[in-house]
Structure 1
Amino acid sequence: MRSLASIVLGFESLVLALATPVMISVADIRPAVALSVCLGLAVLAIVAAGLLRNQVGYILGSVVQVGAVGLGFVVPVMFVLGLAFAAFWVAAFVLGRRIEEAKKAQQAQSG
């Protein structure tokens, strides 16, 4: 589960960083605000990916998902991207648990 979640957060950090110039040029947001919000969320995503060994990493990752969807109020396309990454985030949990259960079952059979 951790590896899937870290992949989602890694790609999301790239998208959030690339949303910065969009906020500045398209949405007419002041550069200081756009940089602090978008790059702040991107850094938070990277920090969350690094902390996925603990529960706090998953909490921070969920905060990033809420923030990414919230950017849709400023740049409407971020509703789509934020919801897509939130869906990937949920899928990482579901598929990650299934993979972990399958590994445990396989170890129980062979061990």
Structure 2
Amino acid sequence: MRTLCASTLIGEFFVIALAGLVAMKDPDLTMTTVWTVSGIAMFLCVVLCGLVTRPGGIQLGWALQLGLIASGFFVPTMFFMGAIFTALWWASIHFGRKIDEAKVRFAAQASTEAGAGAS
């Protein structure tokens, strides 16, 4: 699960950076505001890559997804991109857990086969 979620978060990192460039063209937003918000979001993406398997990591990831969608109020394309990455986040969690469960099953099966072969 960690690999899939981290891959999604790194993709979001780059999308947030590009959205920051687009947001700079908005005359109502200052460059300081845009890069402070974008920088915090990008930092959270990187930090969450390491926290995804810890308690609360998945929930923080969901909060980041909601923030990404909400950024569409400033950069309208982000409504679409936020929805796409939210779907990717869900898929990363869902299929990542299935992969982790399969790894455990295969490891248990391999250890029982190794134990039976040694007898």
Q: Give the structure-1-normalised TM-score.
A: 0.91
| Larger Rg over CA atoms | 2
Which secondary structure does the structure 1 equivalent of 2:24 belong to?
A: helix
Partners of 1:13 and 1:64 lie apart in 2 by 11
Aligned to 2:116: none
Partners of 2:56 and 2:49 lie apart in 1 by 10
In the alignment, residue 91 of structure 2 is paired with which amino acid?
Answer: A
Task: Count the aligned residue pairs.
Answer: 110
Aligned to 1:43: 43
In the alignment, residue 6 of structure 1 is paired with which amino acid?
Answer: A
5+ long unaligned stretches in structure 1: none
Cα distance, 1:83 vs structure 2:
0.8
In the alignment, residue 55 of structure 1 is paired with which amino acid?
Answer: P
Which secondary structure does the structure 2 equivalent of 1:94 belong to?
A: helix
Partners of 1:32 and 1:98 lie apart in 2 by 42
Cα distance, 1:51 vs structure 2:
1.7
RMSD of aligned alpha carbons: 1.3
Partners of 1:85 and 1:104 lie apart in 2 by 28
Partners of 2:103 and 2:3 lie apart in 1 by 14
Deviations 1:65-96 (A, max 9, x none): 11110101111100011111111100001110
Partners of 2:107 and 2:87 lie apart in 1 by 30
Partners of 1:43 and 1:20 lie apart in 2 by 14
Q: How does 1:1-111 map to 2 (within 5 A)?
A: 1-25=1-25, 27-28=26-27, 29-111=29-111
Aligned residues with identical type, % of pairs: 35
Residue 49 of structure 1 contacts residue 61 of structure 1 at CA under 8 Å; is this kept in 2?
Answer: no
Query: Which of 86-95 and 35-44 deviates more?
Result: 35-44
Structure 1 consecutive aligned stretches of length 4 or more whose deviation exceeds 3 Å: none
Q: Give the structure-2-normalised TM-score.
A: 0.85
Partners of 2:4 and 2:80 lie apart in 1 by 21
5+ long unaligned stretches in structure 2: 112-119
